[in-house]
Structure 1
Amino acid sequence: MNARVAFLAAPVLLTAYGLIRLADGWDGERGPGPAWTTGHLAFLGALVLFVPVLLTLRRLAGGGRLATATTAIGLTGAGLAMAQITIDIVVGLRAGDHAAMGPMFDRVRQVPGVALAVYDAGPPLFYVGLLVAVAHLAARRAAPVWVPFAVLLATLASAVDLDLVPVGGLLMLVAFVPLIRSGSTRVRVARTPPSTAR
């Protein structure tokens, strides 16, 4: 298995989501419709691909408690973000028009614990885990020192304004370039050494 595909495709899909989101808002409303669904499916695909990215970053950091805890935080955040995106997709498919989406989201957020876990505190854990993971790699000199700064800028861009998600996706791709170009993201399969018997 070659994890470089995930390092490339995850930020590309994130960028695609941002671009589709911008296109969806040209008429002044976002969702429901094909653009809403397609964009969110792209985002969901990106989050799924970030799972092997986080696992590979843990391996590159040599495992250990810090790397394992960081991965767990990132995976938890990714899972909660997937839940949010899934809710968005379902609401978009069920709503007859944009006005109907608001009350549907309100009902979901009123479920105890959902607003905090799925919308407010949960998804940011993904970005925290990813940022700490690449910072750990840079500290171990397994990645260039500028990589965590690029990931930080990507995170801040998306946090400041969702219209900047395409910029964040491209910055994430730039941050992953050193890992994509190296052979370090390839998952190595142990091979049986050749026999020395004659």
Structure 2
Amino acid sequence: MRLRFAFIAAPLLVFAYGVIRILDGLDGSRGPGIAWTTGHLAFMAALVLFVPTFWRLRHLAGRNALATASAVAGTAGIVALLAQFAIDVVVGFMAADHDAMGPLFDQVQAVPGVELAVYDAGPYLFYVAQLALVVHCALRKEVKAWTPVLVLIDLMLPLIDKDFIPVGAIFLLVSFWPLARRDVPAARHALVHACGTMAHRV
């Protein structure tokens, strides 16, 4: 049930982040404020839920070296994105207004290694690994052939315009929905097996 929750809640939280981000920008600027903080916290919660989904996908992909490397890379990308969004939240709390946020971001990015790990390279591991895992699962026929297409659309839409993040999240939810549903029988089977083992021991 936890995996089912993760597969459904992660895209929904990304959707929430995208919607809040749009609302935050209606006045012509984004952050600081309640919308900035709430949106970022929603995405951070989604990132945490992506960890078990990645490792579930690694299981479906055969748990081989490539699948494991993809899951590890994806987890590293999640850590980088969590750091990036945590910085955003802290800057939002520290800045008096939107104009004051820029110099604070500059100070953080001036720290050696931060810009590369947290902004320029690290986050992309999350997106590349996500697609790699889903493609691998499709090749093993563990997911439908259209699943990687939907995931790719989700990844590409924000590159066109970040206001498309909610739309991409819907595509991701559709692609994850069968994975959430298939984990329900698996969870029930595991529970029945555990109960049967305990009864046998008694």
Output the CA distance in 2 between the equivalents of 1:62 and 1:181: 19
Output the CA distance in 2 between the equivalents of 1:44 and 1:33: 17
* % identity of equivalent residues: 52
Q: List gaps (5 residues or longer) in structure 1.
A: none
Which amino acid in the other structure matches residue 154 of structure 1? D
User: For residue 62 of structure 1, what is the aligned residue in structure 2?
Assistant: 62
Output the CA distance in 2 between the equivalents of 1:103 and 1:138: 45
| 1:2–1:185 CA contact under 8 A, matched in 2 | no
User: For residue 160 of structure 1, what is the aligned residue in structure 2?
Assistant: 160
| 2:3–2:183 CA contact under 8 A, matched in 1 | no
Q: CA deviation at 1:184?
A: 6.5
Output the CA distance in 2 between the equivalents of 1:102 and 1:183: 44
**1:51 is the counterpart of 2:42:** no
User: For residue 103 of structure 2, what is the aligned residue in structure 1?
Assistant: 103
User: For residue 149 of structure 1, what is the aligned residue in structure 2?
Assistant: 149
User: For residue 180 of structure 1, what is the aligned residue in structure 2?
Assistant: 180
**1:32 is the counterpart of 2:32:** yes
Output the CA distance in 2 between the equivalents of 1:43 and 1:56: 20
Two-structure CA RMSD over aligned residues (Å): 1.8
User: For residue 171 of structure 1, what is the aligned residue in structure 2?
Assistant: 171
What do residues 41-95 of structure 1 show as CA deviations (whole Å, max 9, x unaligned)? Answer: 0010000110111011111222111110010111010110000000000000110
Higher helix content, 1 or 2 = 2
Output the CA distance in 1 between the equivalents of 2:28 and 2:66: 45
Change (3 A) 1:184 1:134: farther
Q: List gaps (5 residues or longer) in structure 2.
A: none
What do residues 138-182 of structure 1 show as CA deviations (whole Å, max 9, x unaligned)? Answer: 000000000001000100002222111111111110111111222
More displaced 10-residue stretch of structure 1: 131-140 or 60-69: 60-69
Output the CA distance in 2 between the equivalents of 1:126 and 1:185: 28
Which amino acid in the other structure matches residue 40 of structure 1? H
The two structures have a TM-score, normalised by structure 1, of 0.94
Alignment map for 1:2-17 (pairs within 5 Å): 2-17=2-17
Q: CA deviation at 1:137?
A: 0.6
Alignment map for 1:108-127 (pairs within 5 Å): 108-127=108-127
Change (3 A) 1:10 1:102: same
Corresponding residue pairs, total: 197
Q: Secondary structure at the match of 2:2?
A: coil
Q: CA deviation at 1:118?
A: 0.2
Which amino acid in the other structure matches residue 119 of structure 2? Y
| 1:179–1:185 CA contact under 8 A, matched in 2 | no
